[in-house]
Amino acid sequence: MTTSTSVPMLHAPELLRIAAAQYPLDRFDTLDAYRAKLETWVASAASDGARLLVFPEYGAMEFAGADASAAGDLAASLQAASVATAAMEATHVALARRYDVHILAASGPCILPDGRTVNRAKLFAPCSVIGWQDKLLMTPFENDWGISAGGPLRVFDTVLGTIGIAICYDSEFPLICRALREAGAEIILIPSCTEFLSGYHRVRTAALARALENGCVTVQSPTIGLAPWSPAVDANSGAAGIFVPADRSISDTGIVSEGEVGVPRWVTATVDLAALRRLRSTGEMRNDDDWKRQPGSRPLVDGVERVTLR
């Protein structure tokens, strides 16, 4: 673990093409069928030039659909999804390597040795190194499910730049993403799963705000559509989006790319990371640089763990 504010230089690209999934949950009889679906999605994004692919929160719950005895029972489906997600790890490793992309896999339940279940998102690099981030703050429905808060908060140093992950509800708390930014994150990934449009808009608003505050790019990827076989993710609303600070030099609205609610697709965009770096010190407003001028502001980087994925 590092508590230093220094950030290693990795010669990240100035231009980065990102793909965010508006991801429908399907039910197949076997994990091999899910592997085929996943490769179709990855191949499509890679063929469009994307180097960073983002899948949604709780998208891994669809893996439980392969277990007919568990699919309709909440506790059993969480168990089945945890087991299947571990089994799918090798598939993600192989796809990241084959297509030379970084993949934030769909998050899902992970049962820990002490019996607690956390909501874990795994980041796969083409070099076959894997990082993971657990969700920190539980929603009311996750508390009802028995999902526990995880940690620690991490940043991931990659050849694409330094990446942070704020899973859905975590993105609605500014200090979490501020800690990621102070640890060097220039890209914050926000996988989400929301039943209602109101929930989607809360996360979308948070994604826009976190991009503005931190002078970075945020990427929201939601589950969409109906999955009546699942008691956990039976209804899903949202659209994917790629956001930056609103500044005339890069975007008047802060929206680089955004999809239509409920349509299965990739939302893609090429983001100029070099322009974002310049904006933080020379933009119309300099929220990132001026954050420390707020009354009561204090450094937040202590306790953020740094992981190298290269």
User: Catalytic residues, which ones?
Assistant: 57, 135, 168
Cα–Cα distance between 35 and 209 in angstroms, integer? 35
- Least Cα distance to 304 among 154, 151, 182, 123 occurs for 154
Tokens of 71: 């699919």
* 236: Cβ contacts below 8 Å, ≥ 6 apart: 25, 193, 194, 195, 222, 223, 224, 225, 226, 227
34-50 burial, b at 16+ Cβ within 10 Å, e below that, comes to bbeebeebbebbbeeeb
- Partnered with residue 259 across adjacent β-strands are none
Cα–Cα distance between 57 and 194 in angstroms, integer? 9
* 102 HSE (CA, 13 A, CB side): 24
- Least Cα distance to 185 among 298, 57, 103, 306 occurs for 306
Cα–Cα distance between 219 and 208 in angstroms, integer? 9
C-alpha distances out from residue 40 to 44, 46, 167, 223, 241, Å: 6, 10, 24, 17, 21
DSSP state of 127: T
